[in-house]
Amino acid sequence: MRFEDIKERSTSIMREFKGQRMGMLGFGIIMFLLIISLAAPWLAPDTDGLWANPGRWSDNPRGAAPTWADYILPGSRAPHDIREDYDEIEGNNVISYHYENDYDYPPSDVTIFLSGTSSENRVFLYIDLIRPDDIRIGLVNGVRISVENGTFSNRFSLRSEDGRDRAYEFGLNAHMEFHPGDINPPDRDSVNTDRIPFAKRNEDILLDTESLKGTYVLEIEVVDIDEFEDEGTRVLFRGQKYGLMGTDSSRRDIFMGWVYGARYALMIGAIVSLTSISLALLYGMTSAFYGGWVDEIMQRVNEILLGIPLFPILVISMYVHRSIWTFVLIYTLLGWRGLAKIIRARGIQIRQDTYIEAAQSLGSSGGRVITRHMIPQLLPYAIAEGALMIPLIVIAEAGLSVLGLSDPTVVTWGRMLSEAYGGQATIAGMWWWVMLPGLGLALLGFGFITTGMALERVINPKMRQR
């Protein structure tokens, strides 16, 4: 087959493929995933290799829903609000931040980073939260911070042990006022203290909080400070919603992981499927071309190989060496056998065509006939089969991750789902963490299956009658 023939054949296949509606839809999905994965380094900076590094994600909220959750679910959620600048300063030692809480789900946490200079060898820190109902919750009351080389820094979080104590004290106070004589109020660890500072002061404050809307003022006073440093002084009002896909319980941005998940899924799928179809073409065609005892032996070998189960071999080899390359290698070694059998059957038909005979009588060697004449004939079919293989490959990798056999250095959709299972996302109702990575797998599967089937129909017109 000459290059022109191949070109002509592929353009005619392309033309017919465009008429396949489902196929075009699937192809569009593949293109979408491809673009996303090529743009991954820009869409998700500092993600690859840092997925397991908590420091990378420490500024994010924990377990926040996607931003669009507000549109499809009842209630409004506090956005993620990072304040680099304070709203007011009194003298040189009191700064305050104003927070407008209009949300049914108030911030999940407030984290305060402080740094400043002082000529003393210690400073004292006071943090108060002044609520819309004019109640002042003392979060930090005169904690001594030592100053080294004229500077100090400190960090306080509502979710720290101290923060939870203060929130609980406030809640318990209110609880006792509404339930006088309750001899057995809920203890701190049975209460969700995160929501108490932003909750209405009513009889349910400890158990079933309701957001108190209005303006909150966070007042920070440092006694004996010379100056606050802009660099290290900031406040995070951690949101209940974040980004396109929310965050998981380790604060990681699911969108960033998703993007790299797409990248690795396509990469693994493409490598394994391309090498598998190449091996299958080579094996099947050699067997078909030479026939006789060569064919007989190659078919017996293939029959034995076909009896080997892939899943247990993958499990043991990934257990021995956890890397995506182990997966790629083992899957490739066992991925070609079924296809080789079909290719050989097709190859035997092609072998009898007159042009093969002609090529041989003109003195073409066996290798040349196989590579130049027989393989191009079946290449489109093999590509269609390769596309149909990709979802199986990617899903197998994801499944192994759920068993705990994932490459610790890369982010894949399967790994994210495994972490979702380990983090009890289903039981805690963190639907975004479960649904979105899996949706990636489903999209990829749908895209390649519809594309592969459309290609099959175009190449093999007999199937169209079905």
Partner 1 sequence: MPTSFKYFVLRSINAVIVLFIVVLMIAFLYSNMADDMAEDRIAQQLLAFSQGLPEELSEEEKEAAVEYERNRLRTIQGLDDPFVEKVLRRTWNTFIFNLGESTTNHNYQAEDGFVTTIILMYLPRTILLFTTAACISIFVGIGMGLKAAQVAGTKLDKALSIFGIITASLPMWWVGMLAILFFAYQLGWFPASSYPFPSKEAGMSYYTGILRRMAMPLGTIVFVSIGGRAWATRNMVTSVLQDDYIMAARAKGVPERKVIYGHTLKTAAPPIVTSAILSFLLSIGGAMITEVVFNWPGMGYLLRTAIFSESDMPVIMGLVYITTVLWVVGYLVADLLYGFLDPRVEVGAEKKV
315 binds partner 1, rule: CB under 8 A: yes
Task: Using the rule CB under 8 A, give the single segment among 132-140, 227-235, 270-278, 430-438 that binds partner 1.
Answer: 430-438
The single residue listed with the structure tokens 């004019």 is 134
Q: Torsion over CA of 62, 63, 68 and 72, rounded to 10 degrees? A: -150
Q: 2 is written with which tokens?
A: 């000459």
String of b and e for 72-106 (b: at least 16 CB within 10 Å)? eeeebbbbbbebeebeeeeeebbbbbebebebebb
String of b and e for 323-338 (b: at least 16 CB within 10 Å)? ebebbbbbbbbbbbbb
| Identity of the residue, 209 or 450, whose beta carbon is nearer to partner 1 in the bound complex | 450
| Identity of the residue, 347 or 445, whose beta carbon is nearer to partner 1 in the bound complex | 445
Which one of 72, 183, 320, 362 is in contact with partner 1 (CB under 8 A)? 320
Residue 379 neighbours by CB distance under 10 Å: 17
Task: Using the rule CB under 8 A, give the single segment among 32-40, 158-166, 177-185, 437-445 that binds partner 1.
Answer: 437-445
Distance CA(296)–CA(330), nearest Å, equals 25
Distance CA(10)–CA(316), nearest Å, equals 41
Say whether 42 sits in a helix, a strand or coil: helix
Count of residues in contact with partner 1, rule CB under 8 A:
46
Distance CA(329)–CA(310), nearest Å, equals 12
Task: Using the rule CB under 8 A, give the single segment among 32-40, 91-99, 176-184, 416-424 that binds partner 1.
Answer: 416-424
Which one of 319, 353, 365, 409 is in contact with partner 1 (CB under 8 A)? 319
420 binds partner 1, rule: CB under 8 A: yes
Which one of 421, 456, 457, 460 is in contact with partner 1 (CB under 8 A)? 421
**Stretch 262-301 residues interacting with partner 1 (CB under 8 A):** none
Do 255 and 153 contact (CB within 8 A), yes or no? no
| Identity of the residue, 10 or 249, whose beta carbon is nearer to partner 1 in the bound complex | 249
Nearest CA-CA partner of 226 in 101, 69, 115, 388: 115
DSSP 121: S
Beta strands in 159-269 (DSSP E): 214-223, 227-228, 234-238
Do 83 and 216 contact (CB within 8 A), yes or no? no
Rounded to the nearest whole angstrom, what is the least distance from the CB of residue 41 to partner 1 in the complex?
27
435 binds partner 1, rule: CB under 8 A: yes
| Identity of the residue, 244 or 315, whose beta carbon is nearer to partner 1 in the bound complex | 315
| Cα three-residue angle 198-201-207, rounded to 5 degrees | 80
Which one of 312, 363, 408, 461 is in contact with partner 1 (CB under 8 A)? 312
Distance CA(438)–CA(425), nearest Å, equals 13
**Stretch 441-460 residues interacting with partner 1 (CB under 8 A):** 441-442, 445-446, 448-450, 453
- The alpha carbon of residue 92 and the mean position of all alpha carbons in its chain are separated, in whole angstroms, by 45
| Identity of the residue, 168 or 283, whose beta carbon is nearer to partner 1 in the bound complex | 283
Site string for partner 1, 195-234 (x = CB under 8 A): ----------------------------------------
- Helices 3-18, 431-459: inter-axial angle, 10-degree rounding: 120
Which one of 72, 183, 362, 427 is in contact with partner 1 (CB under 8 A)? 427
Site string for partner 1, 362-391 (x = CB under 8 A): -----------------------------x
| Identity of the residue, 47 or 302, whose beta carbon is nearer to partner 1 in the bound complex | 302
Which one of 145, 217, 279, 313 is in contact with partner 1 (CB under 8 A)? 313
| Residues of the shown chain interacting with partner 1 in the complex, contacts defined by CB under 8 A | 303-304, 307-317, 319-320, 345, 391, 395-396, 398-399, 402-405, 417, 420-421, 426-429, 431, 434-435, 438, 441-442, 445-446, 448-450, 453, 465-466
